[in-house]
Structure 1
Amino acid sequence: MHDHAPSGIRGTGNRRLLAISLAITATVMVVQVVGAVLSGSLALFADAVHMFTDAAALVIALIASVVAARPANDRRTFGYQRAEVFGALINAVILIVLSVWVAVEGVTRLMHPGKTELAGGLMLVVAIVGLVANAVALWLLSAAQRHSINVRGAYLEVLGDLIGSAAVIVAAVVIVTTGWLQADAIASLLIAAMIVPRAIGLLREVVSVLTESAPQGTHVKEIREHILSTPGVIDVHDVHVWQLTRGAPVFTAHVVVDDAAFADGRSSRILSRLQTCLAEHFDVEHSTFQLEPAGHVEHEAHA
């Protein structure tokens, strides 16, 4: 017995805002990469990597909103929502590799600052462009992020970019005014330190989804207690909770119901109450319950 209601996992109302923010982020990222090559600034490149994390997150959010709308078929019965997870896996691996390279290069430049020539003025201009662009993207997302978790995530990513651009500006000002080149390396290390925890967190989340672990914050014991408190329910077993992708939990359970509920037709009301409980209290909109008479448990044990 299923709850076939639309999952509503990914709303499409904010897709335009996400697309505009992605365009801004991707453009600034390209500008920063070019600026890093021309100026020799590692901090600018690190900030471009930071921007890449946000661009990737926005791409994943957009893909999720499109992919989640595709109907399931006989081969992919859950649809295509897990495509987001594989995208996140690739993203996490790339981020870890790039951030480690930035960290190693940053330490090298700290130890041997004289080997690198930096154009502090160009570095400053590009960093200011990045700061302004991030501020615009932040303003665009500020209202919608109060009502959408998806947009909220993008908003926080852009906020991190804003902080990264500010760090590059500080380093550029120091280089222009004092000629202290190590400021660039220090700024790059700070930005790399901001990237690594997010990349590791993303990788852990991907592993959690692919190993079909219960979603973070989901307490199976509490769900079981709610089910057992439903009038007519005697026992619950074979409880499984996993997620197809972020924000798409799935729940299945075998629920033992007293024989009288089947006899007087209350079983359908019990099912509706269980599905409503999962949706309202635990944000699980896709739930499957197998209602069983008391004797069926013994039959399964023998089987």
Structure 2
Amino acid sequence: MSHSHSHNHAHTHDLNGRNLIISIALNIAITIAQIIGGVLSGSLALLSDALHNFSDVVSLLISYIANKLVKRKASLKRTFGYKRAEILAAFINASTLIIVAVLLIIEAAERFQSPQQIEYNLVIWLSIVAILGNGFSVLLLKKNADDNMNMKSAYLHLLTDMMASVAVLVGGLLMKFYQIWWIDSVLTFAIAIYLIWMGFDLLKASTKVLMLFTPDAIPIDDIVNKLNGFDAIKNVHHVHVWQLNEEEIHFEAHIDFEKDILLSEFDVILNKIEEFIYHNYDINHVNIQPEFSKTDAKDIIVQD
């Protein structure tokens, strides 16, 4: 038996989809310009920024598809619908951030050993264009980045790329006024380290959700101890807590009752349990299996 406290997020998802489309278009234009500029100028930093921008396009497309999939209704074949699509998108996007970073480190190490003279004026102007384009995209996605893992992954891609473009601009200015050609490789390396740092936390968070780990903010021992204090409840055991997506946390448990109660009595207790868990721990899906004198394992966590 279960209960759900749900909210309508359709309008938010529509806005997310529109903002993602605008960001995709901007990043396609920036990527093309940077690839051409990087080849003409000989700048590895500019080409690495173009590669990152291309990964932005891919990540934004993944986020957009996930944003659309999550709206699809549940069915007999997919009883949860596509509610995990955005979490999967966040995992993929975080992974690509780290992969791109490793490739940049390899390229930067090779270029550092043999620095090349670079057409700095082209680097400077294209980095300014990238800063403006990515900056606008960052503002579009920032509002929803805090409460949606999928949007956060897209936001991080764009934010890191904007920061990378700032680094490329600084490098271009140093090359123009001081002829410091090796700065191109150093900035590429710095961009890569920043990508790994930003991507790791998101990769870890999305992995925890996909692996059905207990959310960090949910103290299972505390919940069980307090439920054991409810009238008529003898023991709470065989507990599972997992996060389905950004909006849903599920709690599942077996409850041993002191006596053989009526179903109507159980409904009253169940309602109290649901309200207590929702208001104290923000868990909005509760599934309870009632038991009386059943000889099963009574541990909080039972190895299934």
TM-score range, shorter chain: 0.7 to 0.9
Q: What number of residue pairs does the alignment pair up? A: 295
Alignment RMSD (CA, Å): 3.2
Q: Which residue is 1:181 aligned to?
A: 181
Hey, what does 2:301 align to over in structure 1?
A: none
What's the CA shift string for 1:53-80, capped at 9, x where partnerless?
5545544443333222212222222222
The reply to whether residue 46 of structure 1 matches residue 48 of structure 2 is: yes
- State the SS of the aligned residue for 1:238: strand
What letter corresponds to residue 130 of structure 1 in structure 2?
A
Instruction: For 1:84 and 1:218, locate their aligned partners in 2 and report how far apart those are by CA, in whole Å.
Output: 22
Matched, 1:106 2:105: no
Is 1:35 the counterpart of 2:37? The answer is: yes
User: After superposition, where does 1:113-152 map in structure 2 within 5 Å?
Assistant: 113=115, 116-141=116-141, 144-145=143-144, 148-149=147-148
Deviation at 1:99, TM superposition (A): 1.7
For the 8 Å contact 2:46–2:123, the answer to whether it is kept is yes
- Structure 1 CA distance, aligned partners of 2:43 and 2:37? 8
Report the CA distance between 1:170 and its aligned residue.
0.2
Query: Quick one: structure 1 residues 37 and 271, their matched pair in 2 at CA, closer, same or farther if it must change by over 3 Å?
Result: farther
Structure 1 pair 266/69, CA: closer, same or farther in 2 (3 Å)? same
Matching residue of 1:12 = 13
Write out aligned runs for 1:62-211 (5 A): 62-113=64-115, 116-141=116-141, 144-145=143-144, 148-149=147-148, 154-155=154-155, 157-211=157-211
Structure 2: which amino acid aligns with 1:184? D
Which stretch shifts more, 147-156 or 235-244?
147-156
Kept after mapping to 2: 8 A contact 1:42/1:102: no
Alignment-mate amino acid for residue 281 of structure 1: N
Give the match for residue 275 of structure 1: 274
1:215 aligned counterpart, secondary structure: coil
Distance (whole Å) between structure 2 residues aligned to residue 231 and residue 66 of structure 1: 45
Does the 8 Å contact 1:9/1:247 carry over to 2?
no
Cα 1:145–1:76 shift into 2, 3 Å: closer
Distance 1:147 1:81, change over 3 A: closer
Could you list the per-position Cα deviations for residues 171-201 of structure 1 after superposition, in whole angstroms to 9, with x for gaps in the alignment? 0111122221111111111110111133333
Task: Give the Å deviation of 1:148.
Answer: 4.8
Q: Deviations over 1:74-119 (max 9, x none)?
A: 2222222334444444444443333212111112222211xx3422
Distance 1:167 1:258 in 2: 66
Per-residue deviation, 1:147: 8.0
Q: C-alpha displacement at 1:5, in angstroms?
A: 5.1
CA 216–58 in structure 1, closer or farther in 2 if over 3 Å, else same: farther
Note the residue ranges of structure 1 that are not aligned, 5 or more in a row: none
- Whether the 8 Å contact between 2:63 and 2:89 is mirrored in structure 1 is no
Of 191-200 and 29-38, more deviation after overlay is shown by: 29-38
The DSSP-based 3-state class of the residue aligned with 2:264 is coil
TM-score (norm 2): 0.81
**Cα distance, 1:2 vs structure 2:** 1.9
Structure 2 residue identity aligned to 1:107: A
Q: Which amino acid aligns with 1:14?
A: L
Q: Is there any run of 5+ residues in structure 2 with no aligned partner, and where?
A: 299-304
Pair 207,77 (structure 1): closer, same or farther in 2 beyond 3 Å = same
Pairwise CA distance, 1:286: 2.6
TM-score normalized by the length of structure 1: 0.81
Q: Distance in 1 between matches of 2:199 and 2:13?
A: 26
CA contact under 8 A between 1:46 and 1:192: conserved in structure 2? no
